[in-house]
Amino acid sequence: MWEWIKRIGRVLVAPLEFVTRYFKALLFLVIVVWIFGANEGSSAINETNLAEISLKGAILNPDSFLEELERIESLPRLAGVLLVVDSPGGAIAPSVEISEEIKRLSAKVPVVVYAQGVMASGGYYAGIWSKRIIANKGSLIGSIGVIFNGADVSELASKIGIKTQTIKAGKYKEAGTFMRPWNEDEEGEIKRLVRKQYEMFVLDVAEARGLDQEVSPLYAEGRVFSATEALELGLIDQIGIKSDAKRALEELSGVKEPLWLQKEPWEKYMERWMSQATLQLSTLLASGIY
């Protein structure tokens, strides 16, 4: 029992020990890199003509992605952007916002999308306006659909003695509530809203990809496809790996000497440091403490 408690303690303090042990070295290296890399980095940025940006994980808040995109757009010699997607989707509005920004950017410079793992639902929506979509052969593509989830916890609430009180104005103001079953009118209104969002999604995909909206059940309806199937349906343009996507962008941009935007040295160091800390913690967790 005591050994088990000590193991838990090691897991909890491992990140703190790592930071304490390497804090001085980390701080010193960050300062050195910042001093000696500032001028060099500024010069390199001015010559950069290609950039990579990633869209990974659930799409809930687009702000950080859009800020990074804005930073890339400010590059004076920007000639093309590689968008790396590994996202199952997310909320509708943020996905649409990213999609529209990519559409606007793609009208100025070539944008190539590389589907690295999952490019589904809002993740697919985000990249439809690019000049070319290249997918890893193991990736999953599609899930063109809209979903609205709800629950009825009224029975549980009743068992634990919770009663709701509601004052509302508007027939559908409480549509989607968790506290009682939806009535027929409310369910119908939710279905109408979901259908409208779905029609918007399908229309944009059809327009962006040059597909026939009349046969959308073949490529939409929430179905997820392998990369091979997606290629046959016209949802992507090519199957390949990331280096293929980079070469495609270099060709489309027409640059004779591709100069890719590099991460700042301190950013690379911080990523390595965080990776080492995560690895150390994972090693402790792998000892049997869960």
Q: Which residues are catalytic?
A: 121, 173
Q: Are 130 and 102 in contact (CB under 8 A)?
A: yes
**Exposure b/e, 259-279, CB count within 10 A at least 16 = b:** eebeeebbeeeeeebeeebee
> What letter does residue 130 receive in the DSSP assignment?
S
Q: Output the 3-class SS for 55-72.
A: EECCECCCHHHHHHHHHH
Separation of CA 28 from chain center: 33
Question: Concatenated DSSP letters for 213-282?
Answer: GGGGGGT-TT-EEEHHHHHHHTS-SEE--HHHHHHHHHHHHT-SS--BPPPPHHHHHHHHHHHHHHHHHH
Q: Which two tokens stand for residue 49?
A: 């003509």
Query: φ and ψ at 267, to 5 degrees?
Result: -65, -45
Handedness of CA 109, 211, 65, 197 (dihedral sign): positive
Helix or strand holding residue 2 (H, E)? helix 2-47
Q: Are 83 and 112 in contact (CB under 8 A)?
A: yes
Q: How far, CA to CA in Å, does 106 sit from each of 30, 128, 200, 237? A: 36, 10, 20, 16
Q: Are 105 and 81 in contact (CB under 8 A)?
A: yes
